[in-house]
Amino acid sequence: MTADQPSRPDKGVRGFELDIHVTFARPLPREHAAAAVGVLDGLRVELYAPHASPTRALTGGEDGTTDAPVPSARLTGPLGDPDSVRAGLGALLSADARYVEVGVRGFLRGADGRTEWMPWRRNAVLPRGDAARVAFEPGVKYVLE
């Protein structure tokens, strides 16, 4: 490539990340939900709660957050120590979680920051007490219920 040619644009990054969906046995207050999923360190947490209604947004926080109960959460990030993740899953399932979906999922992150997740190749359903059998195979979603 010569100096007058533009460099190739960065089209994004491909890889695999841990992807965990937690559905709580009953909707939890925001602080309790955040503490419950806190047993899984080092992951990005997204708490799923109903959006604020227009009147509630006016009386609540300016950012539109509500004190509505949180029925579920999603955690994503790099897979650290698999045994500590399995222990965290077991702790969630023995306390607040109804079921958990977990796996190492392929993604394509665009240069603009958006992430496109690849579909799961296979699902494996396990009893809720078998978190130790989660093998973290890329593209396999384990459902612990």
pLDDT of residue 59: 42
> Comparing C-alpha atoms, which of 107, 96, 42, 105 is closest to residue 73?
96
Residue at 2 is within a domain: no
Residue at 129 is within a domain: yes
> Is 30 in a helix, a strand, or coil?
helix
Phi, psi of 94, deg, nearest 5: -85, -5
Per-residue DSSP letter, 113: S
The enclosing domain of 86 has a CATH number of 3.30.70
Contact 127, 108 (CB under 8 A): no
Alpha-carbon distance of 33 to 134, in angstroms, equals: 23
The mean-pLDDT minimum among 13-17, 113-117, 133-137 falls in: 113-117
Domain count, the chain: 1
pLDDT of residue 10: 53
* pLDDT per position as a tens digit, 87-102: 999 999 999 999 999 9
**What band does 67 get if pLDDT is binned at 50, 70 and 90?**
confident
Pair type for strands 140-144 and 122-126: parallel
Report DSSP letters for 49-95, one per residue. -PPPPHHHHHHS-TT------EEEEEEEE----HHHHHHHHHHHHHT
Residue at 94 is within a domain: yes
Report whether pLDDT(82) > 50.
Answer: yes
**What band does 65 get if pLDDT is binned at 50, 70 and 90?**
low
pLDDT of residue 98: 96
Residue at 59 is within a domain: no
pLDDT of residue 55: 45
